[in-house]
Amino acid sequence: MVPTLNGRDRLAAGLDALSAHVPNAEVVVVNGPSTDGTTGMIRDRDDVDVLVEVSTRTENVARNAGLEVATGDVVALLRYDLVVEPSWLAGLEDGLTEASVVTGPTHRTLDGGMTTEESERRRIGSREVTYFNGGNAAFRRPVVDALDGFDEYLETGGDRDAAHRLAALDYEVAWRPDMCVRQEYSADGGVTTGDRGAEFRALAYRLVKNYGVQPAAATGTARRALRDAIAAGRDVLRGDLPPTEWFASGRAVVTGAARGAADGLVARVKDRSPARNPHGISDRADRAVARYDWR
């Protein structure tokens, strides 16, 4: 299942790789709202089984729209700009012999070589959380149902939130280096810093929602904010960042964290089940504005 937004050419390369290396998979693409001809490109192909058009840019809404129509016993999530390697399917199948969720690294090709990732595990409170690669993960269907999909409140960090909830539900996450995907970067690719307020709103929300008003939630948010503030302060001292921008970023962090914590507390009260997902698949009837099913 591949969510996409204005990534026609990179999506086409990813679909070509899926067709070559995983030819028997049911492929679901969730698009939207793209304006680059993605819909026409997909409708001209014969290796996509379902195309779902959505009207929102939120990734978790797109993920849930795809999860609603996928019929496999195992559902894999892939980001539109990632290409599966030849070993991907074997790594996925091997990982599922150990756990109900399996993930693997993203290899990023740069001018100076290639970077990759390692498994990430962290203890938060009494919970051992194993994070998964949000652009490269596979779930057995009962896990998807137990999670009720992804939390659509979150504009970012939906995979991190799901990892906390997987740990609460006692699901293991297997890491398989062979289940790898590749991302090509152009030489002039830029780096964006993103919305700091939205980032910390998401962080505070998922920590409070999953752990309540406990030291684990407050400490995690404060530690991240302090680390970023120190790094930005060094940039100010070096003259790389204007002091006004530093203060504006700090204000956005504090405001975002406060709002996220408040919304997380409401969400925790709203859904007291282990799934902790008041904005999941079951929360709304249908996310699609159009659906093309060629199965």
What pLDDT does 189 receive?
38
Please state the rounded mean pLDDT for residues 146-175.
Answer: 96
More confident residue, 293 or 193: 293
Please write the tens of the pLDDT for every residue from 1-52: 999 999 999 999 999 999 999 999 999 999 989 999 999 999 999 999 999 9
Return the SS3 of 278: coil
Q: Where does the pLDDT of residue 188 fall: very low under 50, low under 70, confident under 90, or very high at 90 and above?
A: very low
Please state the rounded mean pLDDT for residues 119-139.
Answer: 93
Sheet of 173-175, strands arranged across: 74-78, 136-140, 101-103, 173-175
Please write the tens of the pLDDT for every residue from 244-272: 775 677 788 888 888 999 999 999 999 99
CA-CA-CA-CA torsion sign (199, 205, 211, 216): positive
According to DSSP, the β-strands at 50-54 and 121-124 are unpaired
What pLDDT does 109 receive?
74
Please state the rounded mean pLDDT for residues 191-220.
Answer: 77
Return the SS3 of 173: strand
Please state the rounded mean pLDDT for residues 151-164.
Answer: 96
The number of angstroms, rounded, from the C-alpha of 117 to the middle of its chain's C-alpha atoms is 15
Q: Where does the pLDDT of residue 186 fall: very low under 50, low under 70, confident under 90, or very high at 90 and above?
A: very low
Distances (CA, A) of 209 to 52, 53, 64, 218: 30, 30, 19, 12
Q: State phi, psi for 127 to the nearest 5 degrees.
A: -110, 130
Q: Where does the pLDDT of residue 187 fall: very low under 50, low under 70, confident under 90, or very high at 90 and above?
A: very low
Residue in the block written with tokens 């939120």: 58
Sheet of 2-4, strands arranged across: 2-4, 28-31, 50-54, 288-293
**How far, in Å, CA of 264 to CA of 271, rounded?**
11
Confirm if 104 and 179 have CB atoms less than 8 A apart. Answer: yes
What pLDDT does 220 receive?
57
pTM attached to this predicted model = 0.88
Of these ranges, 19-23, 105-109, 117-121, 199-203, the one predicted with the greatest mean pLDDT is 19-23
What pLDDT does 72 receive?
94
Q: Where does the pLDDT of residue 228 fall: very low under 50, low under 70, confident under 90, or very high at 90 and above?
A: low
On the CB side of 193, CA atoms within 13 Å amount to 7
More confident residue, 115 or 12: 12
Please state the rounded mean pLDDT for residues 211-234.
Answer: 64
pLDDT above 60 (res 181) = yes
Residue in the block written with tokens 């099913």: 293
**How far, in Å, CA of 235 to CA of 187, rounded?**
25
Q: What is the DSSP letter of 74?
A: E
Q: Is residue 97 classed exposed, middle or buried when 0-12, 13-18 and 19+ CB atoms within 10 A define those classes?
A: exposed
Q: Where does the pLDDT of residue 229 fall: very low under 50, low under 70, confident under 90, or very high at 90 and above?
A: low
pLDDT above 60 (res 192) = no
Distances (CA, A) of 87 to 73, 94, 182, 223: 20, 11, 12, 38
Nearest CA among 138, 84, 68, 3 for reference residue 293: 68
pLDDT above 80 (res 241) = no
Confirm if 79 and 10 have CB atoms less than 8 A apart. Answer: no
pLDDT above 90 (res 54) = yes
Of these ranges, 32-36, 132-136, 287-291, the one predicted with the greatest mean pLDDT is 132-136
**How far, in Å, CA of 191 to CA of 194, rounded?**
9
